[in-house]
Amino acid sequence: MFNKLCVIGVGLIGGSIASAIKQQFPNTEIIGFGRPEDRANLEIARQRAVIDRFTFDIKAAITSVDCVIIAVPVGSYPALFSQIQPFWSDHIIYTDTGSTKGSVIEACLQVFGKIPDNFVPAHPIAGAEQSGVAAAKADLFKHKRVIITPLSTTDPVAMTKIKELWESIGAQVSLMDVQQHDAVLAATSHLPHILAFALVDLLGRKDEQADIFKYAAGGFKDFTRIASSDPTMWLDICMANKAQIAPLLQELTTELNKLQHFLETEDHKRLFETFTYARNARQRFLDQFETYNQL
């Protein structure tokens, strides 16, 4: 495994990766890198032994490490790659945790003119509505999927090492191409977040007059939990993957219009069929999820 790592962006994801590595490999040295305005968060990370030290100097952060893990919002990648580019080394393995991969590849091409073969794009399918290193958990990735999206030029040795790193902290790794990743995540993660934000935005404005939230039950709390997620991060994700998300929103609009029509025409049969199909489809998902977790 790696002897010395740099984590760029020591928040929920970056902090959880560092915590998990420290738990499994206590002798691994971990350097945190961030902006001066991130000092308070980095101080917490150091005090909690999530990282050994931190710096605001990118050259000092990455020059002598074995691996660099980029865990910042995807909208920050172009500027970050530009910072890293003068000090990029063929002897270091670089990876990331970005929620969209097409935008990451595009940012890399803009800065480097190619995708360096020692860069291994990846995305852990794990998280929480909280942000910052204070919310980090060493077990965040246990039994969670991590998707690696290698390119044809990706160094197989580098990819294997990143795969082994994720597996060492409890994750189950899958390989997927970039376009498929962004399409799948748009449907299973990005769209649900937009729905939660939209519903709470709608009802929050009504709540000002009607005290709606006062009478909301547990189902509302469960359904809207992800609306507590970091708005800055989700703005970046949605803009980065808008080509995949926008058609899904159009399909959803069609589905909602269909349900509206069933209600207005009192079409009990079609409404019942829709609800029944959705319930059965969700049960298939739960069965698959349970089978996967038993593997």
Mean per-residue pLDDT pooled into runs of 10, the chain (295 residues):
94 95 96 95 95 96 96 94 96 96 96 97 84 89 95 96 97 95 95 94 77 78 86 92 96 96 96 94 83 57
Beta bridge partners of residue 124, listed in sequence order: 146
What confidence score (pLDDT) does residue 229 get? 86
Write out the DSSP string of 107-129: HHHHHHSS--TTEE-EEE----S
- What are 97's two structure tokens? 């945790």
What confidence score (pLDDT) does residue 287 get? 82
Count CA atoms within 13 Å of residue 231 on its CB side.
3
Count CA atoms within 13 Å of residue 127 on its CB side.
21
Residue 154, CA distances (Å) to 116, 125, 151 in order: 8, 21, 5
pTM of the full predicted structure? 0.87
What confidence score (pLDDT) does residue 214 get? 77
Q: What is the CA radius of gyration of the chain?
A: 21
Helix 242-264 / helix 191-210 crossing angle, nearest 10 deg: 50
CA geometry: angle at 192 spanning 190 and 7, to 5°?
40
What confidence score (pLDDT) does residue 130 get? 73
Domains and CATH numbers, the chain: 4-176 (3.40.50.720), 181-264 (1.10.3660.10)
What confidence score (pLDDT) does residue 17 get? 97
For the chain, helix, strand, coil in percent to 5 are 60, 10, 30
* Cα dihedral across residues 166, 172, 177, 182: positive or negative: negative
In whole angstroms, what is the distance from residue 142 CA to residue 70 CA? Answer: 20
3-state DSSP call for residue 177?
Answer: coil
What confidence score (pLDDT) does residue 9 get? 95
| Exposure string for 32-63, b = 16+ CB within 10 A, e = fewer | bbbeeebeebbebbbeeebbbebeeebeebbe
- What are 236's two structure tokens? 């970046």
What confidence score (pLDDT) does residue 215 get? 74
What confidence score (pLDDT) does residue 247 get? 96
What confidence score (pLDDT) does residue 102 get? 96
What confidence score (pLDDT) does residue 36 get? 94
In whole angstroms, what is the distance from residue 243 CA to residue 245 CA? Answer: 6
* AA identity, residue 56: F
Beta bridge partners of residue 175, listed in sequence order: 148
User: What are the residues whose beta carbons fall under 8 Å from the beta carbon of 139, sequence distance 6 or more?
Assistant: 20, 170
What confidence score (pLDDT) does residue 295 get? 53
